[in-house]
Structure 1
Amino acid sequence: MPMLIHSFAQIFGMDPLPVDRGSIAFFSRATWIQHALGDPCAFHTTLYAASAHLDAFQGANISTMTLYHHTVALQLLQGRLHDPDAVMSESLMACVATLVFFSAAFGDKESSGIHKKALMKMIKAKGGLVDPTIGTFLSEVITAGVLSEAIIIDTTLDIPFLDVPPTPLVPPSFFISAILRRAATKKGGYYNLSPSTTEIFREIQSVISLQSDEPGIRAKWASRIAPLLLSLDHRHTGQFINDEFLVSDTEAISEACHVAALIFWLLFLDDHEYLAPFSMDVLQLLVEKLRFAVSCGSMDTWMRTAPEAHTFP
């Protein structure tokens, strides 16, 4: 039992790494664990999350420990939900959101759908996610869980009282616009993004707003990306002749961002005549270079610099 609590603090709280106060990681390692120790439902949900993550990380089948805590958590949740005198607490909603995520992660579409339906009813009963007592943690956990479920299971992203655009999201993406709008208005507790992260989304929005009926703009970007793609050594697929230059986190992150940008532009402009000569071999090489660059950076650096709203669980 203590091992799973410690594991939860390390995995979701990123303990003992320094994290910002108010972040999901900080809440997970402090307030949430303290709350879970006094709430049987949150306790078993927390241990289930930690155990399920360990199973997935080790590439193992669902363990007996994971099944046990999952079963007990479900029993306690059902008891609370069917009790007319029970209070529809926010911690209960966070527990259900956790079950939504892990059910989707394990490919259990039926269970994730049931949990998600219950969660949506709870949100409606509470009147939305505005000004939750336990802070933005609840809205971020619910949003991350439901968003992950929508991506993994390919379902509609829909949260009551939040203006979430319907899927599929195609350029120009209304999802990006919604992120920027909520980041600017700070309404609904949907995103709590830093100015630098918001600026990245603004740049993405400016790019995806380019339409196919603007050949002049697309030709300009295609002419810029082509020389960079030509610089790739096609004869060294899977071999990295610049390994020695990725000696620090800064260089690894810089290389990862550079290669990710190349992949983005290659996919975005793949229908342009200037990029016609480039084949899937080039894309495969870029993907391999990206994986290598990511592996060269320390995991804690990636986690501590990632948008907090997208790192749980």
Structure 2
Amino acid sequence: MAMRNACTSCRFRKRKCDRAIPSCARCEANSIQCIYIPQKLSQAVQLGGQASDAEFAGMNLSAISEAYPIPRRWYMPRLLRNFIDGLGVSQAPVHPGSMAWGLQTVWMQHALSDPCLFHATLFLGSSYSDMLRGERTSSSITLFHQSELLRLVRERLGHPVIGTDDCTLAAITPLVSSAGFSGDRDAARIHQAGLRRMVELRGGHDKLGMGGLVAALLHMNSLVCRIAFNQHDYPSSGGKPTLPPSALEIRILSSLEDLPGHYIPLQSIRRIIRTAYNAKLRADSQVSPALDHEDLFPTASIDLFLPEDPIYQCCYLAMTILLSIVQQPLHPSKSLNCLVHDLKSYLTLTDTQTWLRYIPEVYSWVCMIGAATTDKLELRIWFYFRQASALRLVSLQNGCFMDELWAHFEWLMGRRSSQAGDRV
């Protein structure tokens, strides 16, 4: 019998693997899921990069056509590449245990042996291709794989085992996100209801597999539907958010402390996040004694030394919007809609990969402020989609980040709604 390949984590880090079952010693010590790619797919998934910078896990997709679980079609290698490219993290550090890493490895490993999940992968890849071409309607290839995915899901639902397995659950998640992005409330509601029932039958989110990938995808789906349809059924990963929710700002301030030097104006961004943190605490008069002496830094100094860097401008505008929502406006003459429009304009001038490589949490913080402030569905989806890659870089073992982002968005939505009600 041929010896199995090294696990994906050891191959990714270029470390020697003892190939132990069910988990090699290195994965066991680091508390990460140990995954072995079958021998016949050993040339299909090639994880590269240096352990020092955890480069993108590139995939050699041209060598796996014989491993497709459905009849081969000429465009399939391209759609698989589109699926990987659509994650948006090709130039950012992708660490083992993140959602992006799970999609590149765990998802792809299962997709190459499960027809339902394979159709879901091709559906996502084709949808991404449609988006790149600027298509307003789905292509015939996209519709084909969507219909095949729906057909296989319906066939499985009555089965006592595969009807609620991880591959089936994971395969449904693109249907929910697609319905959210297209504004199809009825389709999203049907798919979400089905997923909730399946999760109940499995015993809850903590019983789901793929190393936490399925649960993370379900949480992301819920966030999409909340943004698109104003739903309130987000499944918390655990823990009770504080009000006002300041955990996200605390996380960001902590991450910025250890960030290596870069041309990004980190000190200015830290002051911005600290200002937003203090404003949140003051919003409901829940200021801790330790923060009583921390005053908002003067508006004049912000305007006087405003850098031209577009990333700083985005952070500054996001803080301005947040302060306006909590009734401490820096620019009373500008409406929230104007500020959100300015924020979008500056975001389009920034390099997404720079955000992802150095300050992904700040990127999510900025974009979700924009999403929580606008009334326009298309703009809310734009802000969410802009930062979705940042969510994929977060460790699957750290579900709290998505909970914190959710609480941040919910609190801003609530404050903005109450402010509008007061004006009426």
- Identity in percent: 24
Residue in structure 2 matching 1:196, options 255, 268, 272: 255
Q: How does 1:149-228 map to 2 (within 5 A)?
A: 149-159=225-235, 172-173=243-244, 196=255, 206-211=278-283, 221=296, 224-225=298-299, 227=300
What's the RMSD between the two structures over aligned residues?
3.9
Partners of 1:33 and 1:159 in 2: CA distance: 25
Structure-2 change in CA distance of 1:3 and 1:95 (3 Å): same
Structure-2 change in CA distance of 1:12 and 1:211 (3 Å): closer
Q: Hey, what does 2:315 align to over in structure 1? A: 257
Amino acid at match of 1:207: A
Partners of 2:257 and 2:167 in 1: CA distance: 29
Give the stretch that moved more between structures: 101-110 or 56-65.
56-65
Partners of 1:126 and 1:292 in 2: CA distance: 44
Q: Hey, what does 1:303 align to over in structure 2? A: 356
Amino acid at match of 1:300: Q
Query: How far 1:173 sits from its partner (Å)?
Result: 4.1
Structure 1 segments, 4+ long, off by >4 Å, are 160-165, 197-206, 228-232, 286-289
Structure-2 change in CA distance of 1:87 and 1:281 (3 Å): closer
Partners of 1:146 and 1:155 in 2: CA distance: 8
Residue 195 (structure 2) pairs with residue 145 (structure 1): no
Give the stretch that moved more between structures: 92-101 or 48-57.
48-57
Q: How does 1:254-293 map to 2 (within 5 A)?
A: 254-269=312-327, 278-280=332-334, 284=338, 286-287=339-340, 289-293=342-346
Give the conservation status (yes or no) of the 8 Å contact 1:80–1:86: yes
Residue 110 (structure 2) pairs with residue 35 (structure 1): yes
Amino acid at match of 1:73: L
Amino acid at match of 2:107: W
- TM normalised by structure 2 equals 0.53
Q: Hey, what does 1:186 align to over in structure 2? A: none
Amino acid at match of 1:22: G
Which 5+ residue runs of structure 2 have no aligned equivalent? 1-75, 259-269, 287-291, 362-388, 394-424
Give the conservation status (yes or no) of the 8 Å contact 2:82–2:128: no
Structure-2 change in CA distance of 1:79 and 1:130 (3 Å): same
Query: How far 1:3 sits from its partner (Å)?
Result: 0.9
Partners of 2:110 and 2:233 in 1: CA distance: 29
Query: How far 1:111 sits from its partner (Å)?
Result: 0.7
Structure-2 change in CA distance of 1:127 and 1:212 (3 Å): closer
Q: Hey, what does 2:100 align to over in structure 1? A: 25
Structure-2 change in CA distance of 1:158 and 1:38 (3 Å): same
Partners of 2:92 and 2:238 in 1: CA distance: 33
Partners of 1:206 and 1:41 in 2: CA distance: 48
Query: How far 1:258 sits from its partner (Å)?
Result: 2.4
Q: Hey, what does 1:236 align to over in structure 2? A: none
Amino acid at match of 1:310: L
SS of 1:97's equivalent in the other structure is helix
Q: Hey, what does 1:168 align to over in structure 2? A: none
Query: How far 1:117 sits from its partner (Å)?
Result: 0.4
Structure-2 change in CA distance of 1:280 and 1:121 (3 Å): same
SS of 1:14's equivalent in the other structure is coil
Residue 131 (structure 2) pairs with residue 56 (structure 1): yes
Q: Hey, what does 1:44 align to over in structure 2? A: 119
Give the stretch that moved more between structures: 19-28 or 259-268.
259-268
